[in-house]
Amino acid sequence: MSVQKISSIYHFFAHLMCKRGYLIQDNNLEDFPYPEEIIAAKSKSGFPDMVLKINEDSELSGGELIEMKSSKSFQIASFNSTIPTAKKRFEELPKNIQDRLIHSSQNKKELEYRDVYYLIRGIKQTPSYPLSKTILVGGSFFETISVDDLLTKSFNQVAIDSMIDPSALNKISSVFKVKQSKFAKTRQIENSSVKIRFRVMTEVDPNANLLNSKIYSMIGDNTLTFLHHESIDSKQKNFYDWHSVSVEIKNCIGYRNLNKAYNDIDKDLKLDTKVSILHHPLNGPFFIAQASIQPK
C-alpha cells in the first residue's frame, strides 16, 4: 500500500498506538519517533508543528495540521501567539510551511481548509513513578465560538473596563470586529521610535482541561486517547471493547475512520482500544478511543 493512502490523522494515531509506551517517559514530546513517512512538513518554531501528507486516493483525505502541547502537570500548556481552532486556511500557514507544501505538491485546492488537531500530553510526578496522559484531539474541542467573536468580545471587555462614556458601548460594538490577521500586524505609530505588535496568549478554561480527572474522569492516568467531534445525540458514558460497541458508536465518524486506519496499520490495535462517547460541557459529544500507555 502506498504511503499516500495511509497518512491521515487516524493513521497518525495508529502509529502513536504502536509506540505508546514511550509516552509515559519524562522526555520531550518532540522527540517521539513519529512516522516520518506520512509527514509532509515540520516546524520547530510556530504553528503547526507537523503537517500530514495528503491522501490522493483514499476516503481519509489526510493533510491535517498537528500542534503539540506538553506540560509537567495535568494542566494544558498555554497557546502562545495562537488561538486553537478547528480548521485553518492554507493561506494562514507560515510562509516557510506553505513553500514546503507547494514544493512537494501538498497544497491541493480541495484542502484549502485544513483540519487542526492538538497532541496534548501532561506528566505528573509521584513519589513512585510518573503519571501521564496523552490526547490527540480536534481543535473544535477548544473553538466553541469563532476566533473572530472571541477576539471581538475580549476587546469589548477591554473597552468597557476603559470606558469614560458607557453610552458609547453600543456604537463601539456595532463597528468593532477584530480579526486575528489584523490583530497580529506590526503597527507604526507616528512620532514613536518603536513599533508595536500585539501577541495573544490563550489559556484553556478549566471546563476544557482534558487533563483534569475531576472534570474528565474518562481520561485515565497512563492512557493514550483520541477524540473526534460528532454530530449525534447520545447519553453514552461507558467504555466498551472495540468489537462489542453499540450501533450508535459504530456509526460515529471517528470510529469508522479509525477502524479503517487500524486495518491499514495493525488490526490487533483494536484489541487494546476501548471506545465510548465523551461529553463536552459546551460543544456536545466526542467519540473517544483510549488505550493503556503500557502495552499488555
Residue 22 pLDDT: 86
The single residue listed with the C-alpha cell 477584530 is 178
Tell me the C-alpha distance between 288 and 139, whole Å: 14
- Segment-wise mean pLDDT, segments of 10 residues, the chain, 296 residues: 72 95 81 91 88 85 93 89 89 87 78 91 85 95 89 79 67 63 78 85 90 94 96 83 92 96 95 94 92 76
DSSP tag of 210: T
Using CB atoms within 10 A of its CB, is residue 201 exposed (0-12), middle (13-18) or buried (19+)?
exposed
How much is the pLDDT for 46?
A: 80
Strands 223-229 and 131-138: parallel
Give the pLDDT confidence score for residue 4 in this predicted structure: 53
What pLDDT does residue 76 have? 92
Cα(11)–Cα(221) distance, rounded to whole angstroms? 23
Going from the C-alpha of 191 to that of each of 184, 185, 188, 194, 195, the distances in angstroms are: 21, 19, 9, 9, 10
* pLDDT in the model for residue 2: 47
Q: What are phi and psi of 10, to 5 degrees?
A: -70, -40
How do the domains of the chain map onto residue ranges?
3-142+204-292, 147-197
